[in-house]
Each structure stands twice: as C-alpha cells, then as structure tokens.
C-alpha cells in the first residue's frame, strides 16, 4: 500500500513538471549586465555611479546596491529569475500537496485522481494549439493587444472544454477505470470546465512573459495555485478520487482566475472580441508549427518511461522515473530561461544580436554549474528515496545531468529559429531530437537502465547539432516581424 501511495505521489509531481515544461516552449531571456561579464544598459544608474563615483563600489553595501539596481533595470535577468522561482514554488508546494493528500485519501483514490490530473494536464497542453509560443513571440509588437489576448483565451478555453468533454465521453473505451466520471453529468461538466481553466492558466502565463511581468507567474502559479489546492484538498477529505482531482485541478483554476484579475487591474487589459478570426488568422501558421514542434519535444518524456517499463520491468521504470523527475527540476530552468529569450527578442526595439549573445552566456552560467552539482550529487540525491534508488538509479541521474548541456543548446537554437520564423527547420530539428532519443532508448534498453538513459545525451546532442546548423543560417538575418504586429505601441503594461 505504501508503494502504491508513493508511486501516485510521484505521478502527481510528474504532472506538475509536465505543465511547467508545456509552458516552456516559449521564451524571455534578460540582457546580462557587466556583473556577468558584459556591460548592460542601466536605465537609472544607482547612486554613486551616475557621476562615475567608483569609490562607492569599495564597500560591500555599495556593491550590493549596484547589483540590485542592475537587476531592477534589467528585466531580462529579473524575469528569468522570477520564472525559475515560479517553477521552484510549484515543485515544492506540489510535493507538499501530494504528501499530505497521500495521508488523507486512500491509495486507490490517489491513483485514480492522479490519472485524471495527468489527463487534464495533457488536454490543457493540446488545447493551446501553439498559441502560448505565438503570444510570447507577437504580443510585444501587436497593434490590437486586447483583441489578440481575448481571441486567444476564448479559443483555448473552448478547445480545452471540448477536448476534455470528448475525453471523458471516451473513457469507457480509453480508460475504463475513469468511466465513472462519464456516468455523472455533473462530474463530466466539472472535468470539462477545469480542463478549460487549466488551458487558460497556461496561456495567461505567456501573456505575463511577453509583457515582462514574470513575477505574476510566481504569484499565480506558485503561491495562489499551490496553496489553494492544498486548502481545497483538506476541505474535500472524504469526497473520494473525484474530490481529490477537483482540489488539484482547482489550483489551476484559481491561478487562472487570479491571472485574469491581475491582467485587468494592473496591465490594462480589456476583453475585446473584435474580429477574432481576422486577428488570429495571420498567426495560425506560426502557431501550428510551434504546436507540432512542442509536441515532438515533449514526446520522449512520455515514450522513454514506457520503454523502460516494457523492456526492463516496473522496478527499473521506477528508478528511471525518480531520476528523471530530479533532473526535470534542472530542465525547468532551461525552459524558463529560453522563455525570456523569445520574449525579449520579440520586442520592436530589441538588439537581436546582443540578446542572442547574452542569452547564450547566461545559459552557460546557469546550467553548467547545475549540471556539475547534480552529476556529482546524484548518489546523495537519490539516497533520499531509499538505498535501492541510489544503487540502481545513480548512473541514470548522472547521465540525465550531463544531458542538460545539449538540451539547453537545443532550446537556445529553437528559440533563435522561432525568432527568425524558420518554422521548417524548427519542426525538423525537433523531430530529429525526439526520434533520436526514443530510438536510442529502444535499442539500448536490453543492456540495462543506465544504457537506456544514455539515449538522452546522445539523442539531444544529435538534435542540438541539427538545430545549430539551421540556426547558423537563421542568424544571418534579423528576426522576422509579422506584418500586422510590427511598429505598434509599447508592450501591454502600464505604470501605476
């Protein structure tokens, strides 16, 4: 029983990671100031620097003040850090939620609810239709921001509800153990509504990222979403699997509602459905290509665990699963950082070459130390889950840590391709990345778990090489500006 509960907890944590990763196929990277090796632009120099007062830098307090001033003026670094903070809060509160719920609900309820939550996470992603990347890419220069945001939110909400309802109606065939939801109209309607809210929450994150307001992501997804589902879970004790599902998915709904409030109250957004088809039609090609590319990028995270289970058995699959979840915490920082890159490169006044250079340097500074620390500490990290996990999973976690470098290179190149609107190479390199990892995992699986995990550094390195070749062509010209979004007013924010 304890093993079943523990597995369900890990499934729940994996769902949190999947949602974070699905948000991440977008991007915002901050310009790196001179404290990272390159002078940045400071809109308002800190006291003592405006007049060249080098003497003020002699004290630790002055140096700290200068550093904080640079962070405050450099929204690229600041927003990247906020996105990382958001991922960290979500992971911590998600872990706490499942630990608490595993003690308040039966293992059967936890397992069933986890299946429903995993389903709604996938549905929310598929309902985006690539509009998360599209908003980050084109919202900074959009002439009709209110109409673009409203049309995108309406489409995503409708698709989320429709796909959710279709899934529930098909559960007697696809997932018979979840068919009880289809037999109750209230349950089915609630599932569809929560699917729509989850999709909306993912899209509002893209609005914040594009508007250089990533701090709102930490507030809505991390604090509001994380705390509300813990409170709801405690309140719904005794309501069974569906009640536990509502508590968890209700966190996404609460985050979505708070996001809408923040957009109206602090960002000046006013719902407008003026010519929604005309607003979205020019962006459908970009959205479709990103939708396909993002699905390909996420495919190995679904396929490789199935290969491990089928070819190595449940115990090895469990060791791989835990190791991958630990590595995913580092992968999430990659996705968050690349979100910053895409958003900043999309602004009309962006110095594309400078942002590209600084984003590459920031990636090296952030991910290389993390890779080294995770690889060296793999044994001790997994020991927290038990001696068996450390004994059998250390090699896998070390390899997954090494894979951080080519995965970061892939994401950097994909962001450049998005900025340059090189959609064909984006999809092709994503397909190579996905196919290489899945094929290598299948071929190497008979040689053991560690051999199977080698698929990640090998496959991602091949994908990075293909993406880098396409990027070398893309960087020869500035990022494409959509004809309907270029030359418009500043980003969707206002100062109070």
State how far the Cα of 218 lies from the Cα of 91, in Å rounded to an integer.
12
The closest of 273, 263, 142 to 203, measured between CA atoms, is 263
- Taking residues 398-423, what's their average pLDDT? 92
Please give the pLDDT value at position 71.
59
pLDDT tens per residue across span 267-317: 999 998 888 888 888 899 999 999 999 899 988 988 898 898 889 988 888
pLDDT band at 53 (very low <50, low <70, confident <90, very high): very low
pLDDT band at 201 (very low <50, low <70, confident <90, very high): very high
pLDDT band at 385 (very low <50, low <70, confident <90, very high): confident
Residue-wise DSSP of 165-220: HHHHHHHHHH-GGGTTTTT-HHHHHHHHHHHHHHHHHHHHHHHHHHTT-THHHIII
Please give the pLDDT value at position 202.
93
Find which of 116-125, 198-207, 267-276, 356-365 is predicted with most confidence, using mean pLDDT.
198-207
- Taking residues 348-358, what's their average pLDDT? 75
State how far the Cα of 447 lies from the Cα of 468, in Å rounded to an integer.
31
pLDDT tens per residue across span 133-161: 899 989 988 888 999 999 999 999 999 99
Please give the pLDDT value at position 62.
62
487 Cβ contact list (under 8 Å, min separation 6)? 141, 348, 481
**Full-prediction pTM beyond 0.85?**
no
Please give the pLDDT value at position 19.
46
CA 90 from centroid of its chain's CA atoms: 11
125 phi-psi bin (left φ>0, alpha ψ -120 to 50, beta other): alpha
State how far the Cα of 362 lies from the Cα of 443, in Å rounded to an integer.
35
Please give the pLDDT value at position 478.
55
Residue bearing the bigger pLDDT, 255 or 347: 255
Please give the pLDDT value at position 344.
80
pLDDT band at 427 (very low <50, low <70, confident <90, very high): very high
Please give the pLDDT value at position 20.
44
> Where exactly are the structural domains of the chain?
1-10+73-274, 284-482
- Between the two ends of the chain, the Cα-to-Cα distance in Å is 54
- Taking residues 123-141, what's their average pLDDT? 90
pLDDT at 166 over 80: yes
SS3 content of the chain, % helix, strand, coil (to 5): 80, 0, 20
State how far the Cα of 327 lies from the Cα of 51, in Å rounded to an integer.
46
Count CA within 13 A, CB hemisphere, residue 300: 28
pLDDT tens per residue across span 470-486: 998 877 765 555 444 43
> What is the three-class DSSP state of 27?
strand
Residue bearing the bigger pLDDT, 475 or 342: 342
State how far the Cα of 244 lies from the Cα of 241, in Å rounded to an integer.
5
Please give the pLDDT value at position 396.
94
- Taking residues 77-94, what's their average pLDDT? 82
pLDDT tens per residue across span 7-43: 444 444 444 444 444 444 333 222 223 323 333 333 3
pLDDT band at 338 (very low <50, low <70, confident <90, very high): confident
Least confident of 89-103, 215-229, 285-299, 343-357: 343-357
Q: What backbone torsions phi and psi does residue 27 show, to the nearest 5 degrees?
A: -170, 140
Please give the pLDDT value at position 474.
79
- Taking residues 417-444, what's their average pLDDT? 94
* Mean of pLDDT over the chain: 81
- Taking residues 315-322, what's their average pLDDT? 84
Dmax over CA atoms of the chain, in Å, equals 74
Report helix angle 314-345 to 131-138, nearest 10.
30
pLDDT tens per residue across span 230-260: 999 999 999 999 999 999 999 999 999 999 9
Tokens of 437: 């990892």
Least confident of 24-33, 106-115, 206-215, 376-385: 24-33
- Identify the residue whose tokens are 């209230």: 186
Q: Please state, for a pLDDT cut of 90, what percent of the chain lies above it.
A: 44
């Amino acid at each position: 029983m304890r093993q079943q509960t523990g597995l369900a907890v890990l499934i729940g944590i994996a769902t949190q990671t999947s949602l974070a990763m699905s948000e991440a196929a977008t991007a915002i990277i901050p310009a790196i100031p001179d404290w990272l090796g390159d002078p940045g632009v400071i809109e308002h120099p800190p006291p003592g620097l405006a007049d060249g007062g080098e003497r003020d830098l002699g004290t630790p307090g002055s140096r700290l003040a200068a550093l904080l001033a640079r962070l405050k003026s450099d929204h690229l670094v600041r927003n990247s850090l906020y996105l990382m903070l958001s991922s960290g809060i979500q992971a911590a509160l998600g872990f706490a939620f499942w630990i608490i719920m595993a003690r308040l609900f039966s293992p059967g309820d936890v397992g069933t609810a986890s299946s429903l939550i995993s389903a709604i996470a996938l549905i929310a992603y598929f309902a985006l239709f690539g509009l998360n990347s599209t908003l980050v890419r084109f919202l900074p220069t959009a002439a009709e921001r209110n109409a673009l945001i409203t049309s995108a939110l309406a489409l995503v909400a409708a698709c989320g509800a429709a796909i959710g309802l279709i899934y529930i109606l098909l559960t007697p065939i696809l997932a018979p153990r979840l068919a009880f939801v289809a037999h109750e109209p209230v349950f089915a309607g609630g599932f569809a509504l929560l699917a729509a809210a989850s999709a909306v929450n993912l899209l509002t994150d893209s609005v914040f990222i594009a508007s250089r307001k990533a701090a709102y992501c930490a507030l809505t997804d991390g604090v509001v979403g994380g705390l509300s589902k813990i409170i709801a879970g405690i309140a719904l004790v005794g309501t069974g699997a569906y009640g536990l599902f509502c508590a968890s998915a209700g966190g996404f709904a609460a985050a979505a509602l708070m996001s809408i409030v923040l957009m109206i109250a602090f960002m000046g957004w006013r719902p407008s459905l003026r010519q929604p088809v005309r607003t979205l039609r020019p962006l459908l090609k970009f959205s479709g290509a990103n939708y396909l590319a993002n699905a390909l990028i996420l495919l190995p995270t679904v396929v490789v665990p199935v290969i491990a289970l089928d070819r190595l058995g449940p115990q090895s699959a469990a060791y791989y699963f835990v190791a991958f979840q630990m590595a995913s915490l580092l992968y999430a920082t990659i996705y968050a950082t690349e979100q910053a890159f895409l958003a900043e490169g999309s602004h009309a006044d962006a110095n594309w070459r400078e942002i590209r250079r600084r984003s590459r340097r920031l990636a090296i500074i952030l991910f290389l130390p993390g890779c080294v620390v995770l690889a060296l500490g793999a044994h001790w990290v997994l020991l927290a889950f038990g001696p068996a996990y450390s004994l059998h999973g250390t090699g896998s976690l070390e390899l997954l840590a090494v894979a951080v470098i080519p995965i970061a290179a892939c994401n950097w190149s994909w962001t450049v391709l998005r900025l340059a609107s090189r959609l064909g190479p984006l999809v092709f390199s994503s397909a190579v990345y996905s196919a290489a990892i899945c094929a290598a995992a299948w071929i190497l699986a008979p040689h053991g778990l560690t051999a199977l995990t080698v698929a990640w550094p090998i496959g991602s390195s091949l994908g990075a090489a293909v993406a880098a070749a396409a990027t070398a062509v893309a960087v020869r010209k500035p990022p494409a500006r959509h004809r309907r979004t270029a030359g418009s007013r500043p980003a969707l924010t206002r100062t109070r």
